[in-house]
A = this chain, B = another copy of it.
Amino acid sequence: MDHSITSRGIFELLNLVGTFAFAVSGVMKAIEKEYDLFGILVLAFVTAIGGGTIRDLLLGISPVAWLNDNRVIYTIFIATATSTVFFSLVSKVQRWLTFFDAIGLAIFTIIGINRGIEKEFNEMICITLGTLTGTFGGVIRDVLSGDKPLLFRKEIYALACIIGGSLYFFARKMGILTHISEVLCIVIIVTIRMLSVRYNISLPIVRQPQQK
């Protein structure tokens, strides 16, 4: 019991760490685009809550989760304020941001899969919901920045969710304790992400034979 509460507490904390990292990536993008302070705040928000919002809309969960979670909202405000003020500093700790971002990616994937399991969807839908929760905040961020989504072009990102999420899903189905499955998923996703950034590994793209 005590143990379970602690592991819940750690999970919630990691969720806020991930939210923080996602919000910071929205701030960085908005500043790159020379958006004003309101634009910075909006991009921080959509990056942090976009994936979960789309998931909840698709599932018909309403109101969407963040409307009732002040901790998430305050975390985004704090992330926005600190990373805007200490912008130059933040640019220098890119490696740490990637690490926190990977933690967020893992936590969001787990939350998405859990929502799918609660609604009794099959493995394919559950893993899709997990991947979507982890990645679509960044897609909305890029669309609102006028960029092609980085997700579709950069190092392995969504695939990390799919692999880590699949392991998590089947671990839970096999009856492995939830928090052990979670640790497994987080370790896998963070490892894949850090290695793919470190060695600049991307998914293959399909070359067009003829130029347009």
Contacts and interface: CB of A to CB of B under 8 A. Distances in A.
Given A59-B62, A62-B59, A67-B58, A151 B38 contact: yes
Interface string A34-76: 1111111011000000000100011111111001001001000
Interface string A156-186: 0111000000000000000000000000000
A13 B36 CA distance: 33
A60 to B, nearest CB: 2
Interface stretch (A3-11, A17-25, A204-212): A204-212
A87 interface: yes
A149 B142 CA distance: 12
The quantity of this chain's copies bound in the complex is 3
Given A63-B59, A212-B32, A204 B149 contact: no
A149 B39 contact: yes
Interface string A126-154: 00000000000001000111111101110
A33 B205 CA distance: 10
A124 interface: yes
B205 A34 contact: yes
Interface string A100-129: 000000000000000000010110110000
Contact of A64 (B30, B58, B67): B58
Size range of the interface on A? 35 or more
Contact of A59 (B40, B67, B159): B67
10 contacts: A33-B148, A38-B203, A40-B206, A42-B152, A58-B67, A59-B63, A59-B67, A73-B125, A87-B206, A143-B144
Given A32-B212, A59-B63, 10 more contacts: A37-B206, A38-B158, A39-B153, A42-B158, A58-B67, A59-B67, A60-B64, A73-B125, A143-B144, A144-B152
Interface of A: 30-40, 42-43, 53, 57-64, 67, 70, 73, 84, 87-88, 91, 119, 121-122, 124-125, 139, 143-149, 151-153, 157-159, 202-206, 208-210, 212
